Structure 1
Amino acid sequence: MRPRRAWVACLIACLIACLIACLSACTTVGPDYRVPDHAAVRATAANGPLQSAQGPDVAIAPVPDDWWRLYDDERLDRLVMKALAANTDIRAANANLRRALALLHEVEAENLPQGNAGAGVSRAQLSGESYLQQAQPPVFNLGDLGLGASYLIDFFGKLARADEAALAGAQASEATLDMVRVTVAAQTVRAYVQGCAATHDLHAATEQLAVQQRTLDATRRLLAAGRAGPAEVARELARGEALRAVLPPLQAARSAARYRLALLLGLAPAALAEAEVACDAEPVLRAPLPVGDGAALLRRRPDVRQAERELAAATARIGVATADLYPSIRIGASAGLTGVLSHLGSGPTARWSVGPLLSWTWPTNGVRHRIRGLEAAADAALARFDGVVLRALQETETALAGYTRELERHTALHAASEHAAQAARQQRRLWQAGRLPYLAHLDAERDLAAAQAALAASAGQVAARQVDLFLALGGGWQTARKLAAVPGSTDEKND
């Protein structure tokens, strides 16, 4: 018995020594996450002033959360708020966030002690041979009742890295939800602006058609008086029909904008009355458009935050895989009663155990290949992060340049419209004084109507460029969060 006891003592000593060694070497394996110094988001050029932020119509000021309120349009404010509260894409993204949070809580639960309980009753015939006996034991009613608990000691940080990955994944889902909110707000404003612009263009085209109709009537009178030919009447008819052909597409665009708004509001097209979205002209900003700088842009854009959090999650997964190179140690304890059912509860049926359990799988070549694959995935996540940063800057600079150039074009068209109006007034006075033919006066009116139609189209382009720029700037999700945090809301429950 002494050699046997010596072996048992040696085994226990080895386990204790291994446990002490693991405790002394306790660490979190894998790379600690930080944004790399060479990442695009850290570049000086990415955090400086925006290149196209020049001119009196833009301001280097913070972009407000509810930027659509800069239009001072109560109808637009109501539409955006309704869209942020009821849009189906936002609801889906919110559900995805709840799923990510549930996964995070599931991973966090792995850090808690695990317990189990069991009970069983059986009638059994045991094997005598298994007990090194020749006689067969009798048939017994056997019972078993027990409780157990165990705790995985996170010596090498596998659970900690898993928590990091799950938390970063939940934060990435939150940023995705914010990005959907930004997009929905911008799409709502865009649809409203498109409907206003179509109505404005429709009024301008109708005025052109009215002037052309007067010109046609005058040409027909000249034809009846023998002072014009049929070709001139045909030419005016062709011009009138060409102008008339412009009206149906504008009417369709106005209806399409209303239907688009209904979709964004989570409504059927018939549920949104035309009177609720009717407007005659595009909303106008009450102050220069605020754009901020590159650093503020990258902090504000949800897609940049999403890509950064995905990089953090990819980095943490390397640590999860690296921990598989090392042994796993679990401390457990159990107690119970096992024996003949009629004796259950007596001293001889009691059992208990306590101690560590060490497990280690080798060879670990497959784990090393998995680690290299996850390192490559982290490199890909960094490349995507850099791409999102560069794309955010490119989109903003492009939208800003397009907006400022469209403003220049609008200014020129406004001047042209003013000159055309001046010419039309002068021609009208000359015609009323009898010093100018009626058709010459109508030509001036037609030029004025054409100039006003071009100006109306440009106003729609200016408003559309503003929406493009606000979307590129990435504002609006903060107000949506406040809206979602009302009592009983989903976000409040998640918090």
Structure 2
Amino acid sequence: MVQIPGPSRLVLLIALGVSGCVRVGPDFQAPGEAWVDGWHSPALEQVSQPRPPPDPRQWWQVFADPILDRLIAEADANNPDLKIAGLRVMEARAQLGIAQSGRYPQLQQASADSLYFDHNESGGRNPQDRHFWQHSAGFDIGWELDFWGRFSRAIESADTAYFAAQANHADVLVLLRAQMADSYFALRTAEARLRIARDNARLQKRSYEITERLFTSGESAELDLQQAKTQYLGTLSSIPELESQVLRTRNALSVLIGRPPGQLPELAENEGLIPLIDRVVLQDVPANLLLRRPDVRAAELQVAAQSAQIGVAEADLYPSLSLLGSIVWTASSLDGAPDSLDLIGGPSLRWDLFDHGRIKNNVRVQDARLQQLIVAYQDGVRQAAREADDAASSLIKSLERERILGEAALSAERSLTLANAQYREGYSDFQRVLDAQRALFAQQDAYLVNRSTAVSNLIALYKALGGGWYSEQPLVDPTTRQQMQQRTDWGDVLDEPSRPPAGASPPEDKGSSDE
């Protein structure tokens, strides 16, 4: 057993007692916004209802569309952006493990050497050659004590960065679900507009054929023929663009769910169906929902991580105390050379006294970065409130316009029926029929576009309130997990972190997850 001298024991006990007792740098202060507590949106209150749906985490179920449900489930499993976000959580978890290693001796190094000596002594009475081997083995240990909280602050920063990565993953989920629903109903809208365009083109083609026969027989002027032809070809020309829009939107959906661009056979059902939901279901008051938005939570956690980085930088202003120790064994094949075992140990004090402002300016750099993140967080909360209020107001106005356009479409359809009857009976010219056909197509198309806008505003409102942040899918899918484990020893880092219970809000507490 190695005996440590009395003075060294005293230094060790003092070092261990003081280590970790002081942590320089600011403690995290939540960058809250005072106005949020009393914030409310009259528009949001008008379109909300406090009744929970079957699953509060899956707002798209309000559309009662099983095809959309299946597509979102497939996107959860295969979307590349979501996979990358899950892998960044694992990266942050590994970074946390690196930071936690600072609790233990930073230097733990074993060494072994075997050296061959060919020593030739010439001259003198007994010149001789000496050939021998010298072997040595040693173990060095160095432990910088955490006097000023350098390592505990680094762990604090990495811990909150890990939770920020989880919040960013939840934010990708929110955006993905909203983008999936928006693209899906954009596709249904394009299909419905295409159907209306084809129906109107067939109607106008019949009118064109009638005027053509009348002109050939001499019963109608060429003007009626050319006007009917112009209107028919104009409507016909809109069909290729709508067909292209259907193909582009379908390809976008394919990529979102991790498939190559192409046909989606399941979309044959419910073709052109656009639902109309006039209420959003809330699980809490809007102010709380804003603060629980994953991107807002991620911004707050990034502030916490950067706050700890100030303490890491500030610790460099003070001396560092390390405990150093070595055990060295030496042996030689030279006759008469003794073997030796040396034990070396003691404290080491280092202090960078003349850094020409490098350390202080590094502290200032970290503080400036912290203030930038605080401003970004505060702006993020304001932007979240704006998005929610804008979406709610737009939804209200879209619903008002939907009722007006619905009546206008019915009136246009009735007008065309009357215009056709009066033209056949000779009470009006063909121009009134053309005007009625044009008005019908325009009103029907405007009605579909506005209905799609209302659905988009509803989706935007759920996105603005952070809906859809939870998924049952693992952060790393089994195929990717197996591929990574074949390359690298990941230990238990790829194991899933604990998930909140069903129906719970995103986690708000921070704490070390990998002790």
Settle same-fold status: TM greater than 0.5.
yes
Q: CA deviation at 1:372?
A: 1.3
- Per the alignment, residue 31 of structure 1 pairs with 26
Residues 180-203 of structure 1 deviation map (CA, whole Å, 9 limit, x = unaligned): 222222222222111110110011
In structure 2, the CA distance between the partners of 1:74 and 1:238, relative to structure 1 (3 Å rule), is same
1:427, 1:436 within 8 Å by CA — same for their partners in 2? no
2:282 corresponds to 1:314: no
Distance 1:470 1:17 in 2: 58
Q: Which residue of 2 aligns with 1:123?
A: 116
Check whether the contact 1:284–1:463 (CA below 8 A) recurs between aligned residues.
yes
In 2: Cα distance, 1:48 partner to 1:198 partner: 38
Displacement of 1:93: 2.1
Q: Alpha carbons of 1:243 and 1:424: their partners in 2 closer, same or farther (altered >3 Å)? A: closer
2:39 is aligned, of 24, 40, 48, to: 48
Match of 1:352 among 343, 349, 355: 343
Identity, in percent, stands at: 26
Q: 2:58 aligns with which of 66, 71, 75?
A: 66
SS of residue paired to 1:477: coil
In the alignment, is residue 157 of structure 1 matched against residue 149 of structure 2? yes
Write out per-residue CA displacement over residues 203-258 of structure 1, whole angstroms, 9 at most, x where no aligned residue: 11122222222332333344355443111211111111111111111110000011
Question: TM-score under structure 2 normalisation?
Answer: 0.80
Q: Does 1:169 align with 2:161?
A: yes
State the match for 2:495 in structure 1: 493
In the alignment, is residue 205 of structure 1 matched against residue 190 of structure 2?
no
SS at match of 1:335: strand
Q: Residues 279 and 50 from structure 1, CA distance in 2 versus in 1: closer, same or farther, beyond 3 angstroms?
A: same
Moved more, 380-389 or 446-455: 446-455
Select the residue among 213, 219, 235 that pairs with 2:227: 235
Cα contact 1:53–1:59 (8 A) shared by 2: no
Residue aligned with 2:83, SS: helix
Distance 1:207 1:70 in 2: 31
C-alpha separation in 1, matches of 2:215 and 2:186: 42
Higher helix share: 1
Change (3 A) 1:100 1:237: same
Letter in 2 for 1:178: A
Q: Which moved more, 1:233-242 or 1:164-173?
A: 164-173
CA distance in structure 2 between the aligned counterparts of 1:327 and 1:208, rounded to whole angstroms: 83
Please tell me whether residue 373 in structure 1 is matched to residue 370 in structure 2: no
- How far 1:465 moved relative to its partner? 2.4
After TM superposition, the structure 1 = structure 2 runs for residues 219-234 of structure 1, keeping only pairs within 5 Å, are 219-224=211-216, 226-234=218-226
- The residue type equivalent to 1:118 in the other structure is S
Residue aligned with 1:269, SS: coil
- Point out the more displaced range, 149-158 or 316-325: 149-158
Aligned pairs (5 A) from 1:41-120: 41-45=32-36, 48-55=39-46, 57-59=47-49, 64-113=56-105, 114-120=107-113
* From 367, 372, 386, the counterpart of 1:394: 386
**C-alpha separation in 1, matches of 2:129 and 2:387:** 84
Is this contact kept in 2: 1:204–1:452, CA < 8 A? yes
Correspondence for 1:483: 473
SS of corresponding position for 1:245:
helix
Aligned partner of residue 266 in structure 1, secondary structure:
coil
**Amino acid of the residue matched to residue 349 of structure 1?**
S
Contact 1:148 1:334 in 2 (8 A): yes
Q: Is the 8 A contact 2:419 2:428 kept in 1?
A: no
Distance 1:395 1:287, change over 3 A: closer
| Equivalent residue for 1:337, pick from 326, 329, 337 | 329
Residue pair 1:90, 1:177 contacting (<8 A) in 2 also: yes
CA deviations over 1:395-431 (Å, ceiling 9, x no partner): 2222222222111111110122233445566678889
What's the counterpart of residue 170 of structure 2? 178
Residue identity opposite 1:32 in structure 2: D
SS in 1 for 2:467: coil
* Code of the aligned partner of 2:495: K
Q: Which moved more, 1:245-254 or 1:401-410?
A: 401-410
Contact 1:101–1:170 (CA under 8 A) maintained in structure 2: yes
Please say if residues 274 and 451 of structure 2, whose CA atoms lie closer than 8 Å, have aligned partners that are also in contact.
no
Q: Which residue of 1 aligns with 2:374?
A: 382
Q: Deviations over 1:236-290 (max 9, x none)?
A: 11111111111111110000011101111222113x4355466422442566222
Q: What is the number of equivalent residue pairs in this alignment? A: 470
Q: Secondary structure at the match of 1:363?
A: coil
Name structure 1 gaps, 5 residues minimum. Answer: 1-8, 129-135
CA gap 1:447/1:438 in 2 versus in 1, 3 angstroms: same
Q: Structure 2 unaligned segments of length 5 or more: list them.
A: 122-127, 482-492, 498-515
Matched, 1:416 2:411: no
